[in-house]
């Protein structure tokens, strides 16, 4: 509580603390800034935003996880002061917060900076409204280790497209601050009444396209009132969102985040030798990774707390004596994983609104994927997306629903839908399969499904990872593909993940678990699952489709277009790529007839044209043979031998 002022005319400090990406009390720089004001009262507010409910793809598991995080935070606030709790206000923050400023006589609004996507635009609007109302605005960096604005400025205003460029920028920054302690006391709530009865929402909640309509089974009622059905600003119930109960076994909240972190860090040897690529995507109960990403996404776990807990754990392990196996280095270690997160955040901040799509995205290669986003003449994205090639649409839906006929892919997608989380190498497998590996479907469609299913969806990391895995940005060895049988066998020859999430295949012998269509009919009958009846046949020839994808990607790389280039914006890029692909196929047929392959020097100029694309494709193919093309698992085996 703020001490009594010697000057009775001095206005009382009445703080509205706006929770968003920081659903925690520990190590919250913005919350510390609010409490440092020594306010007379503090209103802990969450605005239940219709933009998130209708205009973002959010599945039932992430909604449920968020609600648990909010409930846990509210209970923690009440534990500090029985006269406070989290106040959930229903409506767009741009509309409801000005009401609160006036009715609750707010002097300051304090919040953690959100520089990504819609959050950044929303915050600019709210900050302007608060300033117009005479409210002091205090915004503090806390969701990232470094200030993204500073990092991008140090990188020359450009996106950080590699860890090397990110490291070069942040080496000029102070090291991340130590985590701050959680408060032990908390100021009381002020009077939350209004000068008149709580209004019904007279703000038009008019989203003509509800992106989550397909998963709702009842009417959305969470916006029927301003302060909730009981008038107590309570956390919404899942049925108010028109949704059924979540299916994930992963519980949300700061308490659970800190418990998981403590358990993981108790094993110092495990922390010191953690290497993300060496962890198995087939393990699920428990997984071989931390499974802390959903908690970082909602700010239930402070990134500073995670960073320093890991660093201190490794330091104490190294102090235990000589002769130990060295600790894992970046980027494979836990610190490196946080740095990837920072790299994607900085890249998104630099690129802005176009980062989550191909069109106008200057860092994303233009590849003529099937089922890309489409845009009108006014440049606006067309929603709902017009249907594309029927075969591609069929493949996409089968991939999303886990019925491709490839058990490794199907098990991962079913795990994702049920649990809202999958191992990072599992994400690699299904993303590669959908895009550059076999299906040649736009990464935008895959990102869209992950938007819905993932607990840890992030507006920076999700599109960033999809660009990486489709070899559209960040990563360019498009010819290294994850095998649908060989890759999972490297981690688990028994197929435990398949047996768990594709139970119809659970009785197949290990020999056929990743390719049950190759099992003799008597084996299928013995397993109680006939392929083509009880489980689908493979929907495509993975070897033939991989070759087709490689040829088309070689053409796209040779052409060298990006999402912001003129040929993409004026619509001529597709015809250039189609002509290049036609020439590439003609060249391949010609080479087969001659019984030999020829390569010529790429001609000069500003970039390849359709007339020299065949030459460029052949040159790139020669480079791939020199550097070792093929599968991811082959590459990883060679790397382990070198290491």
Two structure tokens written together for 532: 């083509």
Strands 41-48 and 14-18: parallel
Distance of CA 469 to the CA centre of its chain: 13
In the CATH scheme, what is the code of domain 366-541? 1.10.579.10
Quote the pLDDT of residue 57: 95
The C-alpha angle 220, 224, 229, rounded to 5 degrees, equals 100
**11 pLDDT more than 90:** no
Q: Is 289 labelled a binding residue? A: yes
Residue 434: CA count within 13 A, CB half-sphere:
36
- What CA–CA distance (Å, rounded) separates 331 from 320? 24
Two structure tokens written together for 554: 């070689």
- What CA–CA distance (Å, rounded) separates 221 from 235? 13
**17 pLDDT more than 50:** yes
- pLDDT-above-90 percentage for the chain: 84
Least confident of 90-94, 200-204, 526-530, 600-604: 600-604
CA dihedral angle for residue 360, residue 362, residue 364, residue 366, rounded to 10 degrees = 60
Q: Is 339 labelled a binding residue? A: yes
- What CA–CA distance (Å, rounded) separates 196 from 99? 12
Q: Is 90 labelled a binding residue? A: no
Quote the pLDDT of residue 404: 98
Quote the pLDDT of residue 356: 96
Residues whose CB is less than 8 angstroms from the CB of residue 515 and which lie 6 or more positions away in sequence, other chains included: 407, 485
Distance of CA 239 to the CA centre of its chain: 25
**321 pLDDT more than 70:** no
pTM of the model: 0.91
pLDDT, tens digit (0-9, with 9 covering 90-100), for 140-170: 999 999 999 999 999 999 999 999 999 999 9
Residue holding tokens 């010697």?
A: 6
Distance of CA 25 to the CA centre of its chain: 24
The C-alpha angle 636, 642, 643, rounded to 5 degrees, equals 85
Spell out the SS3 assignment of 336-374: HHHHHHHHHHHHHHHHHHHHHCCCCCCCCECCCCECCCC
| pLDDT, mean of residues 363-383 | 95
Q: Is 57 labelled a binding residue? A: no
Q: Is 292 labelled a binding residue? A: yes
- 90 — pLDDT class (breaks 50, 70, 90): very high
**599 pLDDT more than 50:** no
pLDDT, tens digit (0-9, with 9 covering 90-100), for 486-504: 999 999 999 999 999 999 9
Q: Is 342 labelled a binding residue? A: yes
The C-alpha angle 421, 425, 428, rounded to 5 degrees, equals 95
Quote the pLDDT of residue 2: 45
Q: Across the chain, what does the average pLDDT equal?
A: 90
The strand pairing partners of 87, in sequence order, are 45
Look at residue 140 and give its three-state secondary structure.
strand
Element (H, E) at 398: helix 390-401
Quote the pLDDT of residue 4: 41
| pLDDT, mean of residues 337-356 | 97
| Higher-scoring residue by pLDDT: 194, 251 | 251
Quote the pLDDT of residue 207: 64
Quote the pLDDT of residue 598: 41
Task: Look at the alpha carbons of 346, 347, 350, 353 in this order and tell me if their dihedral is positive or negative.
Answer: negative
Sheet holding 14-18, edge to edge: 87-90, 41-48, 14-18, 108-112, 136-140
Quote the pLDDT of residue 194: 84
- Integer CA distances (angstroms), 281 to 181, 261, 270, 286, in order: 35, 20, 17, 11
CA neighbor of 462 nearest in space, from 433, 422, 491 = 422
- Residue 298 burial (10 A CB sphere; 0-12, 13-18, 19+): buried
Residue holding tokens 């594309």?
A: 388
| pLDDT, mean of residues 453-463 | 97
Q: Is 261 labelled a binding residue? A: no
- What CA–CA distance (Å, rounded) separates 37 from 2? 8
Least confident of 89-93, 396-400, 503-507: 89-93
Two structure tokens written together for 52: 């998130």
- 594 — pLDDT class (breaks 50, 70, 90): low
| pLDDT, mean of residues 452-467 | 97
Max Cα–Cα distance, the chain, nearest Å: 96
Quote the pLDDT of residue 491: 96
Quote the pLDDT of residue 590: 67
Quote the pLDDT of residue 75: 98
- Say which CATH class 254-354 falls into: mainly alpha
Q: Are 31 and 42 within 8 A, CB to CB? A: no
Q: Is 293 labelled a binding residue? A: yes
Q: Is 56 labelled a binding residue? A: no
pLDDT, tens digit (0-9, with 9 covering 90-100), for 200-215: 544 455 567 899 999 9
- What CA–CA distance (Å, rounded) separates 384 from 400? 17
pLDDT, tens digit (0-9, with 9 covering 90-100), for 256-291: 999 999 999 999 999 999 999 999 999 998 999 999
Q: Is 290 labelled a binding residue? A: yes
Least confident of 222-231, 403-412, 507-516, 583-592: 583-592
| pLDDT, mean of residues 46-52 | 95
Two structure tokens written together for 330: 């970046």
Q: Are 398 and 406 within 8 A, CB to CB? A: no
Q: Is 291 labelled a binding residue? A: yes
**548 pLDDT more than 80:** yes
For the chain, what's the residue count? 643
Quote the pLDDT of residue 627: 39
Domain boundaries, the chain: 254-354, 366-541, 543-642
- What CA–CA distance (Å, rounded) separates 610 from 210? 42
Question: Which of 198-207, 371-380, 439-448 shows the highest mean pLDDT?
Answer: 439-448
Residues whose CB is less than 8 angstroms from the CB of residue 264 and which lie 6 or more positions away in sequence, other chains included: 270, 271, 290, 292
Residue 430 backbone phi and psi in degrees, to 5: -75, -30
Radius of gyration, alpha carbons of the chain: 27
- Residue 135 burial (10 A CB sphere; 0-12, 13-18, 19+): buried
Q: Is 105 labelled a binding residue? A: no
Residue holding tokens 């890991």?
A: 310
Quote the pLDDT of residue 619: 52
């Amino acid at each position: 509580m703020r001490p009594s002022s010697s000057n009775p005319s001095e206005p009382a400090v009445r703080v509205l603390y706006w929770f968003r990406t920081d659903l925690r009390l520990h190590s919250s720089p913005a919350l510390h800034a609010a409490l440092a004001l020594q306010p007379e009262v503090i209103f802990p507010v969450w605005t239940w935003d219709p933009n998130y409910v209708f205009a973002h793809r959010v599945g039932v598991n992430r909604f449920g996880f968020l609600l648990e995080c909010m409930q846990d935070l509210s209970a923690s606030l009440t534990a500090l002061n029985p006269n406070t709790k989290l106040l959930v206000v229903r409506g767009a923050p741009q509309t409801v917060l000005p009401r609160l400023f006036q009715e609750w006589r707010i002097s300051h609004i304090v919040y953690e900076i959100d520089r990504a996507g819609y959050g950044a635009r929303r915050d600019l609007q709210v900050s302007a409204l608060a300033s117009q109302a005479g409210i002091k605005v205090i915004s503090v960096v806390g969701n990232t280790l470094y200030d993204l604005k500073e990092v991008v400025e140090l990188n020359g205003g450009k996106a950080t497209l590699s860890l090397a460029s990110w490291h070069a920028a942040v080496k000029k920054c102070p090291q991340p601050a130590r985590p701050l302690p959680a408060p032990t006391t908390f100021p009381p709530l002020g009077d939350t009444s209004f000068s008149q009865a709580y209004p019904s929402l007279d703000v038009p909640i008019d989203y003509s396209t509800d992106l989550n309509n397909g998963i709702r089974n009842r009417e959305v009622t969470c916006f029927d009132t301003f302060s909730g059905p009981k008038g107590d600003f309570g956390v919404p119930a899942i049925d108010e969102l028109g949704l059924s109960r979540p299916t994930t076994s992963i519980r949300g909240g700061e308490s659970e985040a800190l418990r998981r972190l403590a358990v993981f860090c108790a094993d110092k040897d495990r922390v010191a030798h953690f290497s993300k690529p060496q962890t198995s995507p087939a393990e699920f109960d428990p997984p071989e990774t931390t499974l802390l990403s959903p908690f970082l996404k909602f700010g239930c776990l402070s990134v500073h707390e995670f960073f320093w807990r890991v660093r201190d754990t490794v330091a104490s392990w190294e102090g235990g004596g000589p002769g130990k196996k060295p600790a894992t280095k970046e980027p494979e270690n836990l610190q490196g994983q946080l740095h990837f997160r920072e790299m994607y955040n900085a890249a998104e901040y630099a690129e802005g609104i176009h980062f989550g799509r191909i069109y106008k995205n200057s860092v994303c290669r233009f590849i003529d994927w099937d089922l890309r986003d489409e845009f009108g003449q006014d440049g606006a994205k067309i929603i709902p997306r017009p249907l594309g090639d029927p075969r591609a649409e069929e493949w996409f839906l089968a991939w999303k629903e886990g019925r491709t006929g490839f058990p490794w892919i199907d098990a991962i997608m079913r795990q994702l839908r049920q649990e809202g989380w999958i191992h990072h190498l599992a994400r690699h497998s299904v993303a590669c399969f959908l895009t550059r590996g076999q299906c040649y479907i736009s990464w935008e469609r895959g990102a869209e499904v992950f938007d819905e299913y993932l607990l840890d969806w992030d507006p920076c990391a999700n599109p960033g990872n999809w660009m990486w895995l489709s070899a559209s940005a960040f990563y360019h060895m498009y010819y290294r593909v994850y095998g649908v049988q060989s890759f999972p066998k490297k981690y688990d020859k028994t197929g435990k993940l398949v047996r768990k999430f594709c139970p119809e295949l659970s009785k197949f012998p290990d020999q056929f678990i990743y390719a049950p269509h190759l099992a003799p009919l008597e084996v299928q009958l013995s397993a109680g699952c006939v392929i083509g009846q009880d489980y689908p046949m493979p929907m495509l020839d993975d070897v033939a489709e991989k070759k087709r994808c490689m040829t088309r990607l070689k053409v796209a790389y040779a052409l060298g277009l990006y999402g912001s280039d003129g040929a993409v914006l004026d619509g001529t890029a597709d015809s250039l790529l189609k002509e290049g692909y036609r020439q590439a196929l003609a060249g391949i047929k010609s080479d087969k007839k001659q019984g030999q392959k020829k390569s010529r020097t790429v001609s000069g100029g500003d970039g390849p044209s359709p007339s020299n694309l065949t030459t460029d494709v052949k040159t790139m193919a020669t480079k791939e043979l020199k550097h070792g093309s093929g599968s991811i698992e082959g590459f990883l085996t060679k790397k382990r031998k070198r290491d």
